[in-house]
Amino acid sequence: MAAGAWVMTNTTRTKLLNGTFDIDSDTYKMALFLSTSDLGAASTDFASVTNEVGTTNTGYSAGGKAITLTLSGTTTVKVDIDTDPVWTAGSAGLTARFACIYEVGGDVVCYCLLDSSPADVSVTEGNTLTVAAHTDGVFTLA
Q: What is the pLDDT of residue 136?
A: 82
CB 12 within 8 A of CB 109: yes
pLDDT tens-digit profile of 28-58?
999 999 999 999 999 999 999 999 999 999 9
In this structure, is the dihedral angle defined by the CA atoms of residues 81, 94, 121 and 35, taken in order, positive or negative? Answer: negative
Under 8 Å CB-to-CB from 25, ≥6 apart: which residues? none
Taking residues 73-94, report their average pLDDT.
94
Q: What is the pLDDT of residue 58?
A: 96
CB 115 within 8 A of CB 15: no
DSSP state, 126?
A: T
pTM for the whole structure: 0.94
Alpha helices in the chain (DSSP H): 12-17
HSE on the CB side for 112, CA within 13 Å?
18
